[in-house]
C-alpha cells in the first residue's frame, strides 16, 4: 500500500541567503548601480539616481544620530508614500534604529496605543493626507508640543516621545523640519555610521509593523534585517528584476507590500522604485506607468480592477509592462486573466504571505505556466518550509485543505513585548500558524481556499467563500464580489454575497441565483444577495468581511423582526 504524499514542502535553492544588514546591502547597490535611476516620485518631481538617493540616506542617518538617537531606539513614521519615507527606511536601518510603521489611517487612540506600546522616542509625520490632519492629531495627544523646544518634548499621554519630525519646510511649533536633519550630521556622526556598519547584526530587530486584528489591540510584528532583506531579494528573483527595470509601486509603504515587495525587491536588484502618488489613484498610476515606461506594477486586486475600469484606460500605452505582483488579498482568476490580456503583464506573479512572515512564503514565477499563475499562489519561496495541518496538528495528504504553517528565516522575532500572543502564533518548533486554509498539490503549487474564521458551515456542509467568489467572477456583469456567512436559525449559517456590478449593468438577486443553478452545489448558492457600490476595506485593500457580516446581520435581524 502506497503512503499518500504529505502536504509538506521546502524551498531548495542554490542561492544562499544574505548574511548582512540592509545598510551593507544598500551600500553595495549604490556602489554598483549608482548612475542608474534609483527613486522616482511623481507627485514630488523627484528623480534621483541610486548615488543621489544613497547620499541623502547617509546624510539623514547621520542626522538621526546627531539628534541623540541610538541603535535599538524606536522611531515611528506616520505618512503616506513620499521620498522622505524611502529615505527614512534605509537611513534608520543604517543607524540601527527600529522603524515603526504607523498606518496612515490611524486615529488618536490607535496612534497613542502604537507609540506607547513600543516606546517610540521619535516620530516622523506628514502634515496631512486626505482627511487626516496629522499635525492636529499629534497636538491633540501632546498639547505640550506647542511650548516645547524641538526635540525636547515631555508629554503626559506620550511619556516616551521626545521628538516630532515634520515632513514640511514650515513646521508647526515644537517640531523639527525633516530637511534640516539632512544637514545635522557632523564628521563624527559619519564616522559613527561607519562603525555601526561593522557592529550591527542581521538578526537585530529593524522594523515593527502593527497587524490589524479584527478583535483586540493591534500586535507589533517585529522583523529583522535578515527577515525582510532576504524576502525582498527572493521576491525580486521570482519577478526576474534587473537594473533595467522600473517598478511602479502604488501600494502603501507602511505595509510590507510597499517597503519589502516594492523597495527591497528593487534595491537588491538595482531596479528603479517609482511612486505614482501619496495614495492609490488609478489615473495617476496609469499615467506614471505610461510616462516612465515602467516594466513592473504592483497592486491588490481592487487596484488592478480600478485601473482596467477607468474610462481613460484604453488611451494609455502600457506596452512597457512585463511583470509585477498581485497580492494582499485573494486574487480572482478572472481578474488575473484580464490583467495579463489588457495590461500587457505577461509575467505578472501572485504572492502570498503575511506580515509575520516578512511577508511572502509562496509566489508564482514568471516561468510558471499561465494556468498555474492565475489559479494558484505558486510554490514555496527559497529557504522556507511550509506544512498544511489538520485541527489536531497532523500534516494532511496533498490536496487536502488544512491550516498553512510557515517556518524559516522569514518568521518574525515575535510580537513586540507580547509573549502570550507570540506563543499563540509561533509554536515551540518555530512554525508560524497563519490561520489560512490552503491545499498543496502534487507539484507543490499552493491554493489558498480561505481563512479558518471565514469558513462557512451550513447545515454541516463546509463552504469556502473563495470558491463561490471565483465562480461569480465569471459573470460578465459582475465587477467584484465578496461572499461570507451570516447566522441562520435553521442551518446555523447561510451564505451571503455582496456584489458590485460593472458600470451601467443591471442584475437582480434572482439573476444571480439562476446563474448559479446547475453550476454549483445548491448549498453553495448564496441565499442573501446585496448589490453595493463599494466594500469596506483596510488601507492596504484587504476586504473587511467582519464589517459586511455585522451589517447584514443587523439588516436581516430588522427584517426578521418586522415580519415576525
Specify the residue for cell string 522616482: 40
Alpha-carbon separation of residue 114 from 87, 137, 356 (angstroms): 22, 14, 17
pLDDT in tens, 50-65: 999 999 999 999 999 9
In eight-state DSSP terms, residue 345 is -
Task: Assess contact for 116 and 160: CB atoms under 8 A.
Answer: yes
The CATH architecture of the domain made up of 455-563 is 2-Layer Sandwich (3.30)
Among candidate residues 472, 484, 449, the one with its CA nearest the CA of residue 375: 449
Torsion of CA 108, 109, 112, 115, to 10 degrees: -100
- Residue 559 pLDDT > 70, yes or no? no
Long-range contacts of the stretch 310-313 (C-beta < 8 A, 24+): 310/282, 310/283, 310/286, 312/283, 312/286, 313/286, 313/342
pLDDT in tens, 203-216: 999 999 998 654 46
Residue 551 belongs to what H/E stretch? Answer: helix 545-563
Among candidate residues 111, 109, 113, the one with its CA nearest the CA of residue 124: 111
**Which residues partner with 299 through β-bridges?**
326
**What cell does 443 get?**
507539484
pLDDT in tens, 429-488: 999 999 999 999 999 999 998 888 888 888 777 788 888 998 999 999 999 999 999 998
Separation of alpha carbons 147 and 558, rounded Å: 52
Q: Count of H helices and E strands in the chain?
A: 18, 29
Using DSSP bridges, classify how beta strands 163-167 and 176-177 pair: parallel, antiparallel or unpaired: parallel
- Residue 563 pLDDT > 70, yes or no? no
Helix spans in 447-528 (H): 465-472, 509-516
What are the residue ranges spanned by the domains of the chain?
A: 23-34+46-211, 455-563
Identify the pLDDT of residue 457. Answer: 83
Among the residue ranges 103-107, 177-181, 356-360, the one predicted with the least confidence is: 103-107
Instruction: Provide the percentage of residues in the chain whose pLDDT is more than 90.
Output: 82
Among the residue ranges 225-239, 504-518, 539-553, the one predicted with the least confidence is: 539-553
Residue 555 belongs to what H/E stretch? Answer: helix 545-563
Among candidate residues 296, 308, 289, the one with its CA nearest the CA of residue 347: 296
Separation of alpha carbons 407 and 32, rounded Å: 33
Specify the residue for cell string 511577508: 359
One DSSP character per residue, 201-257 reads -TTSEEEEEEE--SSSS-EEEEEEHHHHHHHHHHHHHHHT--TT-EEE--S-TTSHI
Angle 362-364-365 from CA coordinates, rounded to 5°: 125
Phi-psi region of 72 (alpha: psi -120 to 50; beta: other; left: phi over 0): left
Task: Assess contact for 438 and 354: CB atoms under 8 A.
Answer: no
Q: How confident is the model at residue 558 (pLDDT cuts 50, 70, 90)?
A: very low
Separation of alpha carbons 526 and 485, rounded Å: 9
Q: How confident is the model at residue 564 (pLDDT cuts 50, 70, 90)?
A: very low
Please give the residue that has the higher pLDDT: either 45 or 4: 45
Answer whether 0.85 is exceeded by the pTM: yes
The residues, ordered by sequence, that sit 6+ positions from 215 with a Cβ below 8 Å of its Cβ are: none
**Superfamily name with CATH number, domain 23-34+46-211:** ANL, N-terminal domain (3.40.50.12780)
Amino acid at each position: 500500500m502506497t503512503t499518500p504524499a504529505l502536504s509538506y514542502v521546502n524551498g531548495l535553492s542554490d542561492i544562499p541567503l544574505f548574511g548582512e544588514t540592509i545598510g551593507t546591502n544598500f551600500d553595495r547597490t549604490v556602489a554598483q548601480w549608482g548612475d542608474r535611476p534609483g527613486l522616482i516620485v511623481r507627485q514630488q518631481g523627484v528623480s534621483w539616481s541610486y548615488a543621489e538617493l544613497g547620499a541623502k540616506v547617509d546624510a539623514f542617518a547621520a542626522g538621526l544620530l546627531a539628534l541623540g538617537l541610538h541603535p535599538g531606539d524606536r522611531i515611528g513614521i506616520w505618512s503616506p508614500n513620499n521620498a522622505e519615507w524611502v529615505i527614512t527606511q534605509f537611513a534608520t536601518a543604517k543607524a540601527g534604529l527600529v522603524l515603526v510603521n504607523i498606518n496612515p489611517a490611524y486615529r488618536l487612540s490607535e496612534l497613542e496605543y502604537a507609540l506607547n506600546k513600543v516606546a517610540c522616542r521619535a516620530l516622523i509625520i506628514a502634515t496631512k493626507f486626505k482627511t487626516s490632519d496629522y499635525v492636529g492629531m499629534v497636538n491633540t495627544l501632546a498639547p505640550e508640543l506647542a511650548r516645547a523646544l524641538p526635540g525636547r518634548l515631555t508629554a503626559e499621554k506620550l511619556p516616551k516621545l521626545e521628538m516630532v519630525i515634520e515632513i514640511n519646510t514650515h513646521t508647526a511649533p515644537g517640531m523639527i523640519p525633516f530637511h534640516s536633519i539632512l544637514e545635522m550630521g557632523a564628521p563624527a556622526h559619519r564616522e559613527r555610521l561607519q562603525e555601526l556598519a561593522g557592529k550591527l547584526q542581521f538578526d537585530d530587530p529593524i522594523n515593527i509593523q502593527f497587524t490589524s486584528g479584527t478583535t483586540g489591540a493591534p500586535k507589533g510584528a517585529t522583523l529583522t534585517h535578515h527577515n525582510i532583506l532576504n524576502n525582498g531579494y527572493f521576491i525580486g528573483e521570482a519577478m526576474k528584476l534587473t537594473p533595467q527595470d522600473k517598478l511602479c509601486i502604488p501600494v502603501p509603504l507602511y505595509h510590507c507590500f510597499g517597503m519589502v515587495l516594492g523597495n527591497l525587491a528593487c534595491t537588491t536588484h538595482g531596479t528603479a522604485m517609482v511612486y505614482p502618488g501619496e495614495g492609490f489613484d488609478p489615473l495617476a498610476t496609469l499615467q506614471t506607468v505610461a510616462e516612465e515606461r515602467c516594466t513592473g506594477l504592483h497592486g491588490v486586486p481592487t487596484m488592478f480592477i480600478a485601473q482596467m475600469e477607468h474610462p481613460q484606460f484604453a488611451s494609455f500605452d502600457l506596452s512597457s509592462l512585463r511583470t509585477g505582483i498581485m497580492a494582499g488579498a485573494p486574487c480572482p482568476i478572472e481578474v488575473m486573466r484580464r490583467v495579463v490580456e489588457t495590461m500587457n503583464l505577461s509575467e505578472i506573479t501572485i504572492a502570498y504571505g503575511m506580515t509575520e512572515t516578512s511577508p511572502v512564503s509562496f509566489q508564482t514565477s514568471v516561468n510558471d505556466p499561465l494556468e498555474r499563475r492565475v489559479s494558484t499562489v505558486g510554490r514555496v519561496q527559497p529557504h522556507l518550509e511550509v506544512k498544511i495541518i489538520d485541527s489536531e496538528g497532523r500534516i494532511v495528504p496533498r490536496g487536502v485543505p488544512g491550516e498553512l504553517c510557515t517556518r524559516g528565516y522569514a518568521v518574525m522575532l515575535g510580537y513586540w513585548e507580547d509573549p502570550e500572543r507570540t506563543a499563540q502564533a509561533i509554536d515551540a518548533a518555530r512554525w508560524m500558524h497563519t490561520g489560512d486554509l490552503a491545499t498543496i498539490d502534487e507539484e507543490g503549487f499552493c491554493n489558498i481556499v480561505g481563512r479558518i474564521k471565514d469558513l462557512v458551515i451550513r447545515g454541516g456542509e463546509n463552504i469556502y467563500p473563495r470558491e463561490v467568489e471565483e465562480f461569480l467572477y465569471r459573470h460578465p456583469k459582475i465587477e467584484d464580489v465578496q461572499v461570507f456567512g451570516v447566522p441562520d436559525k435553521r442551518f446555523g449559517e447561510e451564505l451571503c454575497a455582496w456584489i458590485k456590478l460593472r458600470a451601467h449593468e443591471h442584475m437582480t438577486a434572482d439573476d444571480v441565483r439562476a446563474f448559479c443553478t446547475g453550476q454549483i452545489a445548491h448549498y453553495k448558492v448564496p441565499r442573501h444577495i446585496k448589490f453595493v457600490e463599494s466594500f469596506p476595506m483596510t488601507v492596504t485593500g484587504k476586504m473587511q468581511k467582519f464589517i459586511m457580516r455585522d451589517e447584514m446581520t443587523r439588516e436581516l435581524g430588522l427584517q426578521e423582526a418586522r415580519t415576525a
